[in-house]
Amino acid sequence: MVQVYKTSQDKKEIVKSFAATLLPRPMNQENEPGEFGIALEDLFGGSIPEGHDPGDEIMFNLKKLVEFVTTSMTATEKHRGSDHAVNLLKAAGVSEARETWAQGKRRGLNLELE
């Protein structure tokens, strides 16, 4: 699902401004919108790039979004996201190698058997 939220006019609440089901695609797509937009004001607040209207929207095509998600899923089916994230953090020097839960469990079992 794609869900877009923004602040209410009085800036006191968060309200849903858009929702659509991407996968699995709904059987009755007649009522489903083909695209949605997010206003520059909602993305940038008071820091809108010079020369742009705060009401201008960046449009997202749902059909193309479904195609992107579908091809991305098949490209990553052999990789765990958490493994990739850990490797990126290690490469950046932000994270140290740590014992995983499974490694600790095996180590504990080995100690008990000795």
pLDDT score at 56: 92
Model pTM above 0.85: no
* Pairwise CA distance, residues 52 & 1, whole Å: 30
Closest CA to 31 of 42, 15, 19: 19
**pLDDT value of position 59:** 92
17-69, pLDDT tens digit by residue? 888 888 777 777 666 678 888 889 888 888 888 899 999 999 999 889 888 88
Half-sphere exposure of 12 (CA within 13 A, CB side): 1
Q: Tell me the CA distances in angstroms from 96 to 51, 86, 104, one per residue in order.
A: 45, 9, 16
Would you kindly state where each structural domain of the chain is located, as residue ranges? 1-78, 80-114
Residue 76 pLDDT > 70, yes or no? no
